[in-house]
Amino acid sequence: MIQLNNVSYCYNENDYALDSVSLEIKKGEFIGIAGRNGSGKSTLIRLINGLLLPLQGNVNVMGMDTMDNDSIIGIRKIAGMVFQDPQSQFIGMTVGEDVAFGPENLGLSHEDICGRVDTSLKAVGMYIYKDHTPRALSGGQKQKVALASILAMEPELILFDEATSMLDPVASEEVLKLIKQLHNKGVTIVYVTHRLEELIFADRLIIMDKGRIIHDDNPRKLLNEENILDSGIYLPPIIELSRRLCSEQVIEPIRLPISREELMEALCQLM
């Protein structure tokens, strides 16, 4: 579905934010991307929907090249993006109008638009704020509305750039659950975050450092690697504890527990 061939990008001359990256993403995959601040995560996903254009190499989304001017609208229809700080993307006077903006531009009927607005606002739990101005919402509520705006477009691919950074743990969990549901329905997900614990359910976990992809594998396998810490990422405390319990042979190191529930289960078997 998505193909990056030797893609490079720099914001300042000779300072590569992305350095010859090649990557293939299949339809329906859930791809998690992690890495320290400035490792190139956000740059990578902005290249996918053509917000940034490659300086070298090419980016292809369902047969369309992002460099091709005639393709860019087609790509944007397929690929929705939820940003870290949605503050600047609000345009409507009310939350409902804001969510309606995307579907209106798709040329849908009035009934369809209203239906999509209500469904997506209910999905993120913001329906009661439909007639409120987006400006009076808190940071986390804005992030939920931004997600609803993308859902209303019913895209085949959603790119998330730290979409839960402004949400409390309960709200993050709700949004993640929603994302998993979308994934189950066949939507392709590319999800960038600092919080590795959100990525343990991904089909593939990609770790970036200094503009390159340094790991790309199944999360459980990757989190068990000896050298995973060399990439400058921090492991979630539960996974660090699991790894140490395994390396000290307290629990059998055959299958690394990667969530609290799994670790709990492994430890209870020992009691």
Partner 1 sequence: MSINVKDLSFCYNRGTSLQRDALVNVSFSIDKGEFVLIGGEVGCGKTTLLRHMNGLLRPHSGSVTVDGLDAGNKKIRSKVGLLLQHPQKQLFAKTVYEDIAFAPSNIGFKDNELKDHVRYAMDLTGIDGSISSVSPFSLSGGEMRLVALAGVMAMKPEYLLLDEPTSGLDPENRSMMLKTLKELQASGVTIIIVSHQISEMISFAEKIMMLNSGSIDFIGTPKEYIFSTSSSLQLPDITSLMKDLKTAGMDVSEDVFSVDDALLQIKKALLNVDGKRNE
Phi, psi of 2 (to 5 degrees): -120, 135
**Min separation Cβ 106 and partner 1, Å:** 29
Which lies closer to partner 1 via its Cβ, residue 46 or residue 183?
Answer: 46
**Min separation Cβ 260 and partner 1, Å:** 5
Whether residue 102 contacts residue 152, with contact meaning beta carbons closer than 8 Å, is answered with: yes
Which lies closer to partner 1 via its Cβ, residue 66 or residue 224?
Answer: 224
**Min separation Cβ 37 and partner 1, Å:** 5
Which tokens is 36 given? Answer: 């320290």
Which lies closer to partner 1 via its Cβ, residue 9 or residue 129?
Answer: 129
Decide: residue 28, CB within 10 A, 0-12 exposed, 13-18 middle, 19+ buried: middle
Measured CA to CA, the distance from residue 180 to residue 270 in angstroms comes to 32
Q: Which residues bind partner 1 (CB under 8 A)?
A: 36-38, 84-85, 131-133, 136-141, 144, 162, 165-171, 194, 197, 232, 234, 236-238, 240-241, 244-245, 248, 250, 260, 263-264, 267-268, 270-271
Residue 88 is classified by DSSP as G
Which lies closer to partner 1 via its Cβ, residue 65 or residue 162?
Answer: 162
Measured CA to CA, the distance from residue 257 to residue 26 in angstroms comes to 27
**Min separation Cβ 236 and partner 1, Å:** 7
Greatest Cα pair distance in the chain: 63
**Min separation Cβ 264 and partner 1, Å:** 5
For 150, how many CA atoms within 13 A lie in the half-sphere containing its CB?
29
Backbone angle region of 125, left / alpha / beta, with phi > 0 → left and psi within -120 to 50 → alpha: left
Q: Are strands 64-65 and 56-61 parallel, antiparallel or unpaired?
A: antiparallel
Measured CA to CA, the distance from residue 103 to residue 117 in angstroms comes to 8
**Min separation Cβ 61 and partner 1, Å:** 28
Which lies closer to partner 1 via its Cβ, residue 211 or residue 236?
Answer: 236
Which lies closer to partner 1 via its Cβ, residue 10 or residue 67?
Answer: 10
